[in-house]
């Protein structure tokens, strides 16, 4: 009997803020891979009222958010926001130039059969 292994996928969130620190609603981004190819469902993602965009279903690899349309009175950012999804990573949150990833692992010890949760938090600067 073969065991099915679910593909691990991560969620990425990015918050767009103006120089005054206020969240910007209505900014449009594309999500592409390291080669610049827009990922499926990653075209025309618009920030919500909290200035946030969320994309789920990312497999391990390097990605980038590219600002496609800014708000009136704001300059379009030409610098892609690159980030990396690592194997086992569940969520990437980003604002202010850093992304943090929080991972939860559940491990069973064979000798005692007890489950123990391990939580780690890492900070990855944008490239």
pLDDT tens for each residue of 76-117: 888 888 888 887 666 666 654 433 333 333 333 333 333 444
Helices (H) and strands (E) in the chain, counts: 0, 9
What pLDDT is recorded for position 37?
Answer: 96
CA 7 – CA 54 distance, rounded (Å): 19
Cβ atoms of 31 and 62 within 8 Å: the answer is no
Higher pLDDT, 90 or 60: 60
Name the pLDDT band for 2 (thresholds 50, 70, 90).
low
CA 55 – CA 85 distance, rounded (Å): 12
In order of their start, the domains of the chain are 10-125 (2.60.40.10)
Q: Does 41 have pLDDT greater than 80?
A: yes
What pLDDT is recorded for position 123?
Answer: 46
């Amino acid at each position: 009997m073969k065991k099915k292994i679910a593909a691990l996928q991560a969620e990425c969130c990015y918050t767009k803020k103006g120089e005054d620190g206020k969240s910007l609603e209505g900014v449009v981004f594309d999500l592409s891979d390291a080669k610049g190819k827009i990922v499926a469902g990653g075209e025309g993602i618009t920030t919500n009222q909290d200035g946030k965009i969320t994309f789920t279903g990312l497999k391990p690899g390097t990605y980038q958010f590219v600002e496609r349309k800014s708000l009136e009175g704001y300059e379009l950012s030409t610098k892609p926001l690159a980030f990396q999804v690592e194997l086992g990573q569940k969520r990437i949150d980003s604002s202010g130039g850093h992304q943090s990833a929080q991972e939860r692992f559940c491990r069973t010890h064979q000798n005692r059969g007890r489950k123990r949760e391990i939580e780690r938090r890492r900070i990855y600067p944008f490239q």
